[in-house]
Amino acid sequence: MDAVENDAVTRRDLSPRIGSEVILSKEALLSGVYAEQLREMLSQRGVLVVRGAFFDDAEQQAFTKTLGTPMAQTERDEVMKISMDTRVHASAEFQRGNVLWHIDMLSAETPNFASILSPRVLSDEGGETDFASTYAAWDDLPEDEKRAYEGLRVIHSLEASQLMVNPEPSLAKLQFWRDVSPPREHPLVWAHASGRKSLVLGASAYYVIGKSVEESRQILTRLREWTTQPQYSYRHEWQLGDLLIWDNTGTMHRVLPFPLESGRLMSRTAIEGEEPVA
């Protein structure tokens, strides 16, 4: 698509409804001069990509601070290593659920606003990341469906997503999932402070309150299928040096399967949530 010039920031849209490449140098990104513009672009486009940034972890932390308040990723660090190899990261087993469509931190009342990801090791096959705009998907829903879905509330849990990758857990494992991430109730439709609305979906969505198991599954599957249509989606094919930012409050994402022994490793930072799901 054609490049768009916006006050010295060149943007090239990667698909009509979601995803844009931003042309800025590492120095310009770290300066914070364009932070307000980047946040505005992020709210409108959902995903921003910078090629050739080659940030190390310290630089990624510094850049994150220009966009908002960094969120602690672990007890000790603002940088989280994303790997599905248990030899690399203690939470690798949980991260295997990342192959499912999801929104991060729906176990919290206020999920993180945005996440920043850069690769350290890539797999030779697979490992692309898909994104889908839950804003655009809501906007295009038929009006009768909008009326039917507004007011519905959904229980989200780690258990729901983990059962999809480990359908026969031990009782101890099941209890651990429940203890580490208790269920959380959210509206199906998020009415944002900006006035926009988005769908709150993903693998963590267990059931719709007041609906039967069959009705819940039909509603949630219908909306996942609708939201992940090509017109609302962007697939990122990673290159070393990439920097990718996504609006966690208005997109779902997933990683495509890849060989676990590939050593694929990513560094993630995040910006604290700025409004509760409401």
CA distance 261 to 153: 39
Question: If the chain, 278 residues long, is cut into consecutive pieces of 10 residues, what is the mean pLDDT of each piece?
Answer: 66 97 97 97 97 97 96 76 79 81 94 97 96 98 98 95 92 92 96 97 97 97 98 98 98 95 93 96
- 188 in any annotated domain: no
Let me know if 62 is exposed, middle or buried by CB neighbors in 10 A (0-12, 13-18, 19+). Answer: middle
Q: What is the pLDDT of residue 2?
A: 54
- 167 in any annotated domain: no
- 148 in any annotated domain: no
CA distance 30 to 25: 9
- 258 in any annotated domain: yes
Asked if 82 contacts 267 with a C-beta cutoff of 8 angstroms, the reply is: yes
What Å distances lie between residue 172 and 93, 204, 249, CA to CA? 15, 20, 32
CATH (domain of 89):
3.60.130.10
DSSP string, the chain: --EEEETTEEEEESSSSS-EEEE--HHHHHH-TTHHHHHHHHHHHSEEEETT----HHHHHHHHHHHSPBPPSSSS-S-EEE-S-TTT-TTHHHHGGGGS-B-TTTTSSS--SEEEEEEEE--SS---EEEEEHHHHHHHS-HHHHHHHTT-EEEE-HHHHHHHH-SS--HHHHHHHHHHS--EEEESEEE-TTS-EEE--STTEEEETTS-HHHHHHHHHHHHHHHTSGGGEEEE---TT-EEEEETTTEEEEEPP--GGG--EEEEEEE---S---
Q: Model pTM greater than 0.85?
A: yes
- 26 in any annotated domain: yes
Q: What is the pLDDT of residue 85?
A: 80
The number of distinct structural domains making up the chain is: 1
- 93 in any annotated domain: yes
Which of 255, 258, 203 shows the shortest CA–CA distance to 85? 258
- 189 in any annotated domain: no
Residue 143 φ then ψ, to 5°: -60, -35
Beta-strand relationship, 20-23 and 47-50? parallel
Domain that holds residue 125: 3-132+212-271
- 232 in any annotated domain: yes
Q: What is the pLDDT of residue 212?
A: 97
